Chains A and B, each alone.
Chain A
């Protein structure tokens, strides 16, 4: 199973995807976790790239039964694979987040500074052993992908270099190849009513539905990205607006005050001279 790079992630790399050929669709499915569909109709056959998925049904069902036993109260909390957060980082502080990862998954983190003087932040990504994988200073945005080992990856945003301005930071985590968890989340088969006919046409429809879903997800992600860019530009503009207003007022006041002071100082010079004469 290859690591799938989501090509449409960054605006510079936008490309129109071709209509899905069978193996390409299954690759997209692998990423969004919809393998279960095609497997239902091809129990014994393993298409290219999905050979190691045949043995999954048993452990999936087994594990579907287990979590409610292992984690009382945690049933129902299955976090999504992609998440984005926007938060405010006060001046002089550092905040760290942790993401647990399984083996051979792919972790992509993308961050942007949306607001705050200078629009820059220090970024630090460390592996579960504590080794620094990425260390960037005073950058306003960045994207990094790592192939993961088992453990908790830590990434930190550091605003200690700034004493007065707080930053608004947006970051997005994209997790690929997380394995069985993805299967479980999309395994709606247990919950549906009615039966579908095992027809070749139906299978085609389901495949194109899957590819539509993954493309819509991609659109959604690009929208999120555009929204972050726009938010940043808007914040820049609004701070320009405030700055223009403020400094114009200051300029006006200073001009008037300085001209008045000049005149009265000159006058006072001459008045003293006259007094000393008499």
Chain B
């Protein structure tokens, strides 16, 4: 009996400690290292009227302690988002930890670029900044607890709402794919046409050039009284 009671408790304790440890280091989330003047860009291909939320957190390398500090006050990141036509949708400075949101109005490849705004070389003597990044697109960006509180939904309603959002996002993505596939098909057909017409044109040009050369040289030689 003691074993049955103590086992799960001990396991619970261990798991809780592990989770605490993970919480303390903030350690779940993709991260990468960025240099001082380096700019990292990510491309998100999204349909129109889709909301995108990005979260990031930065940590600086402490040269003396050889460890990453938990947070870096005073260090900011500049976030720039460009839409498929190259127009800047969002260009803002955020703190060492930030959250940026934008909604796409044209479907296509949106480019999200991050670079640090540090001008103080001393801060970056180690040369490394660790950036934790998370980008959520579409219905993943919805904050369901907030929606539940705002609209006063029961759990069933909330889950149904989430399913509806999910389906809507899938449908939007499908429409976008259909539009892309059509453009793809047009490009392919145009390439095919061009290859065909170019081959014919090339043959005609070659024949014409050959004829011109022969006639020109023949009249030249006749003029020089060689033929």
Contacts and interface: CB of A to CB of B under 8 A. Distances in A.
B217 A263 contact: yes
Interface residues of A, number: 83
A87 B158 contact: no
Interface string A67-79: 1001101101101
Chief secondary structure at chain A's binding surface: helix
B28 A178 contact: yes
Contacts of B102: none
Contact of A79 (B28, B174, B195, B202): B28
Chief secondary structure at chain B's binding surface: helix
Interface of A: 52, 54-55, 58-59, 62-63, 66-67, 70-71, 73-74, 76-77, 79-80, 83, 85-88, 95-100, 102-103, 150, 152, 168, 173, 178-181, 188-196, 202, 205-206, 209-210, 212-213, 216-217, 219-220, 223, 226-227, 230-231, 233-234, 237-238, 240-241, 244-245, 248, 251-252, 255-256, 259, 262-263, 266-267, 270, 274
Interface stretch (B42-50, B82-90, B117-125): B42-50
Given A79-B134, A223-B174, A255-B209, A66 B20 contact: yes
Interface range, B side = 35 or more
Contacts of B149: 191, 193
Given A80-B134, A97-B30, A86 B97 contact: no
6 contacts: A63-B19, A77-B134, A99-B29, A193-B148, A194-B153, A251-B202
B92 to A, nearest CB: 18
Contact of B160 (A73, A85, A209): A209
B170 A96 contact: no
A97 B40 CA distance: 12
Contacts of A178: 28
B18 A206 contact: no
